[in-house]
Structure 1
Amino acid sequence: MIGGWEPAHIERIASLESRRLAVLPVAGLSGDLHQDLGRGALAVEITGSLWGDETRDDFLAELRAKFQAGEPVDFVADIVKESELEQVLIEELSFEEDASAPEVFRYRLVLREYTEPPEPPGLGADLGVELDAELDLLAELGLDGLDLPAIAADVPQVGDLLSPVKEAADSLKENLSNAGSLLSPLAALFGGS
């Protein structure tokens, strides 16, 4: 049963369970080190066939509505009885008709175990309420410990930072202003003005 709906004429049902393993190569070690990251989501594949246009159309309407909604649906099957699988997402649909048997309609569904995501941490009005008294005390201690006028009084005067390089910059500017006249013979040679 998929969300209260039973796929008709099931020919095959298979489940696939896997572990998520991180493969970590280690220099000098024969083989690899594997880290177990837990069990992956269980997958169930169902294949079957139907006969007749009306049966096919009803089946497609029912299944596509569940698929397009993208919502988790309840799932019950004997093959997953011990897996504690309760809800699935319809991950994949495929349909097939063959000209050699025009009345036969084949389908394949892939269902993937759905796990409810955890609630995100809230940043409500009570954020830091338990720290209010401690934060106030720390703020008072910090500001009392600072002698702001004494800190500002010892700041040296900076002055004009560019004055040491001003003379060299003026000299460079004067020398480069004549560069255009040096290149005028080359411009005449290449037909420029």
Structure 2
Amino acid sequence: MESLPLAFWLDLLGTFVFGISGALVAVRRGLDIFGIAVLSVAAGLAGGMIRDMLLGATPPTALEDPRYLLTSLAAGVCVFFGHRLLDRLNKPVMVLDALGLGVFAVSGCHKSLVFGLDPLPAILLGVLTAVGGGAVRDLFVAEIPRVLREEVYALAAMVGAAIVVAGGALGLADGWTAAAGVVGAFAVRVISVWRDWRAPRAPGS
């Protein structure tokens, strides 16, 4: 796989999308502009920072390159002024969260492969990249993170990361593989919400 241009743009896209989802949660909870900025930055940057620290890529790219922080803050500003427009969409937080999930699963797995990880650890880091920001966002507003509920969430990220690994093994172009991974994760997540699919719970719980 070629290195950073693809991962960079995927990271920025995921940062912006997750930043919007975090800011929308802040608006719905009645937080002020500072709270909106905090949730936007947390949702947009936490997953990638966790990935970079586990890879030993320090300082994390989100702290080294100011474009990441500016992108997450820009998402917060967009929501601050345009949340009424976004609320007209059907389940905007879920849709944006699903898109960010797919983008970060792909970028996390791609970067892990670039750093020389084997396929299974690369998929794991792809999932961690995808769910990290959403988990931190949910914890900040005292919600159980989606990844710990019975919703199909981490599994959707795993599908996207697995597509990246499969595409690399087959020698497919990075761009097409990345697009397929994002679409696959997004589709699994959205369809699971639409069809109310649930992960199994412990018997009798």
TM-score under structure 2 length normalisation: 0.24
When Rg is computed on C-alpha atoms for both structures, the one with the higher figure is 1
Normalized per residue, which structure has more strand?
Answer: 1
| Higher relative contact order, chain-length normalized (CA < 8 Å, sep 6+) | 2
TM-score by length of 1: 0.25
